[in-house]
């Protein structure tokens, strides 16, 4: 792994709570700019905690977490907020859209902390919605949208700030098969433009369709493998271009 290319890097990262729960135990993980990674594991394995640390929504108890070249542990809350607004987009299973707002305003809300004027926020929101195929739904509220359309609005909100990283937490979990496939297609298209995408999922079929699969159990990484979808899949495992975490 060429660490200088890592946009996400955890070194011996742990997360413990006062009640004695150890959610993460000495995790080492590096993700390069432009990777598409599945994070899998059973409930309680540490997936959501990992997402919170990488998304700078929480801090590690010990070890190092670096995102976009920044050591999260030394940043103030204000600087963490700025880091999130510039570099990270979130997509959640349950959409988190504001019920009474139009799709444009829901997406524009993704720029609230980026010091962007309202008119520009809405203009960029319209562009993002067109990008996910919802240019004809600009004035609709979430109650007028299907589940798949709501998730596409959530993806538009995640990408409106042009982040380097998209963190998707069970993005297809609340969707039917066809809508889920459309959402995954959008995430792959974003990745094809150079965006790093990490997908937390219980769905083994989705995980196996992505180039890299990191599996957690009991707060630790138990495997970090290339899948059949990886460009490294048919090369020797000793090939220097296919060391864990790299691509040709």
Which secondary structure element, helix H or strand E, spans residue 184, and what is its range? helix 177-192
Which secondary structure element, helix H or strand E, spans residue 206, and what is its range? helix 204-209
Instruction: Among 3.40.50.1980, 3.40.50.1220, 3.60.15.10, 3.40.50.300, name the CATH number for the domain at 3-242.
Output: 3.40.50.300
Q: Where are the domains of the chain?
A: 3-242
Q: Tell me how far apart the alpha carbons of residues 47 and 215 are, in angstroms, rounded to a whole number.
A: 9
Please list the residues that pair with 220 across neighbouring strands: 217
**Residue 30's closest CA among 178, 244, 247?**
244
Give the tens place of pLDDT for each residue, 180-189. Answer: 999 999 999 9
Average pLDDT estimate for 19-43: 94
Average pLDDT estimate for 18-26: 91
Name the pLDDT band for 233 (thresholds 50, 70, 90). Answer: low
Q: Is the pLDDT of residue 2 over 80?
A: no
Average pLDDT estimate for 154-162: 93
Distant-in-sequence, close-in-space partners of 6: CB < 8 Å, separation ≥ 6 = 30, 31, 32, 33, 66, 245
What's the pLDDT score for residue 169?
93
Give the tens place of pLDDT for each residue, 79-121. Answer: 998 899 889 999 988 889 999 999 999 999 988 877 889 999 9
Neighbouring CB atoms inside 10 A of 152's CB total: 26
């Amino acid at each position: 792994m060429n660490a200088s290319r890592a946009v996400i890097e955890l070194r011996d990262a742990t997360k413990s709570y006062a009640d004695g729960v150890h959610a993460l135990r000495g995790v080492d993980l590096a993700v390069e700019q432009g990777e598409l990674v599945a994070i899998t594991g059973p409930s309680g394995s540490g997936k959501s905690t990992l997402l919170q640390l990488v998304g700078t929504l929480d801090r590690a108890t010990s070890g190092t977490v670096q995102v976009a070249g920044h050591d999260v542990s030394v940043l103030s809350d204000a600087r963490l907020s700025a880091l999130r607004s510039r570099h990270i987009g979130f997509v959640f299973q349950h959409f988190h859209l504001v019920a009474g707002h139009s799709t444009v305003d829901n997406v524009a809300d993704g720029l609230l902390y980026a010091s962007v004027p309202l008119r520009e926020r809405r203009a960029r929101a319209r562009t993002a919605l067109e990008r996910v195929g919802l240019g004809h739904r600009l004035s609709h509220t979430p109650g007028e949208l299907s589940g798949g359309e709501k998730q596409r609005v959530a993806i538009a909100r995640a990408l409106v700030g042009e982040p380097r990283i998209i963190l998707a937490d069970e993005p297809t979990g609340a969707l039917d098969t066809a809508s889920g496939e459309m959402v995954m297609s959008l995430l792959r298209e974003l990745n094809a433009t150079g965006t790093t995408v990490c997908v937390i999922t219980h769905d083994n079929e989705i995980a196996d369709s992505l180039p890299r699969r990191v599996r957690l159990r009991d707060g630790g990484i138990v495997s970090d493998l290339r899948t059949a979808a990886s460009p490294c899949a048919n090369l020797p495992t000793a090939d220097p271009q296919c060391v864990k975490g790299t691509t040709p």
